[in-house]
Structure 1
Amino acid sequence: MAGERYVLLGLAPARSSWFRVVAQWANSGTIPAEFVKCVSVEELRARLGSGRPFSAALVDAALTGLDRDLVDTARRAGCAVMAVADQRAQSNHSQADWDQLGVAEVLPEYFDPKALLAALGAHSATISRGDTLPGDGVPEPALARQGLVALVCGPGGTGASTAAIALTQGLAADPRHGTPILLADLALRAEQAMLHDARDIVPGVQELVEAHRTRRPPPEDVRAVAFQVDERGYDLLLGLRQARAWSSIRTRAFEAAFASLRSAYSVVVTDADADLEGEGDGGSFEVEERHVMARTAASQADVVFAVGMAGMKGLHSLVRVLNDLRAFGVAPERVVPVVNRAPRNPRSRSEITAALAALTASATTPPGTRGSAPSPVFLPERRVDEALRLGSRLPDALAQPLAGAFAAVVRRVPTVAAAGPARVEPGSLGFLGGGEHEEAALG
């Protein structure tokens, strides 16, 4: 159609030859394109978020900013990403690496207008008067296996991290769950390194996420990031070395890293925070990025253990965590309340169960119906400090109830489907409007 052309974004280091040549082709009319130069990754992101449609983004492969998050930002804007790679970059990355990153096409450093137009024709769309959106880039292939996920969280000071160790130990001892089993420390103030007396604090989750910025490592490389806890039969992924390091955890890179963990392990037990606040709650996108690890684990968890304490304050905090999980979207049937250091008296335990049922009834059951809150798991008080210092196994009285509750929920509730696009049957979404005024306006 007359007036249509490609609208291209470009990002390259200073004095890049292909960057200058493409601009000359666009200005002289050699290619039907408008070439918009960007001087930084931040400018490229800003233009992608401006609402203006773009056909493709040509990004030099030598830039460190070419990662999963940038490709995902472009994909959501309907803009395909094409990497321009010299011989060194092509030798360091295989075609599978580029495909997993989501790059639509890889162009050599020296290409002609014919090669560029062929790539644009295969992956992009021309734009006319801003009413035609370009197509998406190449989607990342799905992983072959997705292991089960357990989330252990609590309001703080309730022994949630110790409960996560006990759960992982119990799952590792049960042959039904297969091997290997992973305990991943995803808390902002990570403490599993201290609880396991880890002498080395690297590698950890920061290195794992960094490795997933531009590619997806094989499962053996993913497992190499974790430490083996032979006495208890599981692997341990260390968490953030400092709480302020959350800013280095990019959203899409962490999601890719978490998917790799699920592919490399049969069960992934996550020790994470109970704070799941996102942009929709407080209007701050930075808050959502701060909690990306806990939110990702909660959204994909097959079983969620909310750990609290007995007593008025303990039950109040536990109910708050249960309500936050429900508000986030976790199905109530997947949530298992855990009362740590519970009293041994059966009457006291039944009172705790009744109090939890009464306090969570309005949050877990629809109005006008009667339902029961999930029965809590009571963990007795045990001296675990010595076992933690020696690196020995925790008492079975802590591990077996948690592992049994996990198996019961997995057996009763279908597993969580992996996040991704879903097919929509034509006509199943209805239509916009539909009121009397809209029908009258349409005649």
Structure 2
Amino acid sequence: MGRIYAEYELESPVALERAAEVIAGEQSSGTFLKLPGETDDLRARSGAVAERVELLDTRSAPSLPCRIESDAFQRGRIRLSWPIETMGPSLPNVLATVAGNLFELAEVSALRLLDVSFPPEFASACPGPAFGVAGTRRLCGVESGPLIGTIIKPSVGLTPDQTADVVEDLAQGGIDFIKDDELQANGPACPLPERVDRVMRVVNDHAGRTGKKVMVAFNITGDLDEMRRGHDIVRAAGGTCVMVSMHCIGLAGMTALRRHGDLPIHAHRAGWGLFSRSPDIGISYVAWQKFWRLAGADHLHVNGLGNKFSEPDDSVTASAKAVLSPLFDAGPAFEAMPVFSSGQTALQVPGTVAAAGSDDFLICAGGGIIGHPGGIGAGVASMRQAAEAAALGRGLPDHARENEALAQAIDAFGKRMA
């Protein structure tokens, strides 16, 4: 059987080699002293191995509070590996191994998980995305170009009927995809069954008249029974997507939903800042997204270029490319669709195409569509026209000369992006 490999950036008040040994022991067969059952054979068979230790820098003070005092704190990269026999192809148990107690060890003054490599056993053991890029395109009826989406706003407070009215306006405007906000799930002000009923009446009627069925990602985040019921309500009404906040339901919840359902799963990363905000502790998105793709997420949020949050564009770009990269050298690619959002308008579309390296993505614009001065239809058109400009290799101002909706978007949103 294969091995799990994990890359870290580590800072320690002791030598990096020693810190790597401590982490390897803590996260496999060892403890703070050698026990009678901890034989040389057991450690050779089941212990984690420090594959590589690379010193990059030495600092005079710890990046995080540290119990061990030192005049020098070494910082660098380490690579550890574990035999799969000790955990099996289990995503929750791999996460507990590569991102468990190691963050709080006394010998650690900073630690980030940078990447994880899974052996081929996970390709057959994990469900992976059921739809991914190709299946999502098929359901949305969009063969090429980015999928254009938006979010129902206000986030909360709208009744089911008011929500359906917004969806009707968006469908008539030519939108491909609509999602619930992560804050809107199954509250008494807008219960999921009633919301699904009203919204899908609009969606199905529009599809019957035009042949285009808008994909609506209904937020079914909850306990396992709630999510199964929510999925079935959406499917029975003719819906084509469900949404969950993956940090809130966990890997086991995602896997259970994937095995139960037969609709695309739109995975929102609410709470991601807990893992990403600090350069001194947490998990990189490159590593984190692999777990969720294996668990069954079809769409994964990656933030957006020029977003309203703290994440820089190079990080967003790396995340999008990671989601589209194969997980294994052979066998299923487990490819998911990256979702760009957060303060998006037509002005970000060409850069987003370049960042993703393709047009296999979903870009969700709230104000960029609904707040467009020409109305919702013009907002959607401006996004498509920006994608056309990218495909043709034309600058937005040049392309806007023949496309009024794009010209209006540049006038309306250009100052905000400057």
TM-score clears 0.5:
no
Name which one, 1 or 2, has greater alpha-carbon Rg: 1
TM-score w.r.t. the length of structure 2 is 0.35
TM-score w.r.t. the length of structure 1 is 0.33
